[in-house]
Amino acid sequence: MKPLVAFALACTALVAPASVSSGSPLTVYAAASLTEVLPRIDNGPRYNFAGSDQLAIQIQQGAPADVFAAASPKQPELLYRSGLVRKPVVFATNKLIILVPRSNPGGISNVYDLRRTGLKIVIGDRTVPIGAYTRQILDTLGITAEVMKNVVSQETDVKGIVTKVALGEADAGFVYATDAKPVASQTRTLTLPQWAQPPIRYEVAVVKSTASPAAAQAFLKKLRSKRGRGLLAKAGFGLPKR
C-alpha cells in the first residue's frame, strides 16, 4: 500500500498549483497618487501603480487585475459600462495644488504668476486625471493659453510631475495635495483658489474577470473600513460621506 500512497501523493503535488491558484496574491491596479497609502492599508496585494488611463487600457486588453482604483470616476465608469468591472464606488477625494522646488527659482507666489514668460511648468497629459483636472482649473481661472505657453513637459502620471519639480527640472507643477508630503523637504506648495477647484473623486471597482472575487471584495471593505479611512485621511485625502 505504501507505494500506492506515495504515487497518489505525487499526483496530488502535480495538480496542486492549478487548484490553489486562487490563493495567489491579489493584483490591484491603482492610480500613481495612491502609491504611498494603499500598501499601508493592505500590504498583501501586488500593486501596479500608473496613470489611471493606462491602467484602464491594460484592463481592457485583458491584464490580470483583480481590483482597479482610479483617481477619477471616468475610467472606472467606462469599464463598468463595458461590462469589465463591477459597479465602482467612491472611496476618497483630493485637491489640486502647485508644487515648486524648495528654492523656488521662479519666484512663484500664486497661480497667476505662472503666466510669466520664461517659466518651466510641468503638467499631466490630457488623457490622465491629473492632466484633465489641471486643464479644468486653468479654464475656470481663465489663464489656460498663457500658462500652457510655459509648459515644457506633459507627464503620463502625477509621480512624473512630482519628480521633475523635486529635482529642480521645473519651476512648478500641478499635482494632488497628497503628493506633496513625500517630497516636503525638497519642495513647497502653493494653494489654488477653492472656488476654482474641480471635484476630484477616487473610485474603486472589482474587475469581473478576477479569479478571487471574495478577496477582491475584502480589499474594498478594508479600503473603506474605519482604519482604511483613517489612513487615507492621515495621507491627506478627503473622505466621502458614508
| 3-state SS class at 20 | coil
For residues 205 and 44, give the distance between their C-alpha atoms in angstroms, rounded to a whole number.
18
Q: What is the pLDDT of residue 23?
A: 60
Other C-beta atoms within 10 Å of 16: how many? 10
Q: For 86-106, how does the pLDDT look when each residue is reduced to its tens digit (9 = 90+)? A: 999 999 999 999 999 999 999
Please, what are the domains in the chain? 25-93+201-234 (3.40.190.10), 96-196 (3.40.190.10)
For residues 84 and 61, give the distance between their C-alpha atoms in angstroms, rounded to a whole number.
10
Q: For 209-228, how does the pLDDT look when each residue is reduced to its tens digit (9 = 90+)? A: 999 999 999 999 999 999 99
201 contacts: CB under 8 Å, gap ≥ 6: 72, 73, 90, 92, 93, 240
Average the pLDDT over each of 16-30, 115-129, 157-171 and give the range with the smallest value. Answer: 16-30
Average the pLDDT over each of 4-18, 172-186, 202-216 and give the range with the smallest value. Answer: 4-18
For residues 104 and 140, give the distance between their C-alpha atoms in angstroms, rounded to a whole number.
25
Residue keyed to cell 498549483: 17
Please give the residue that has the higher pLDDT: either 31 or 14: 31
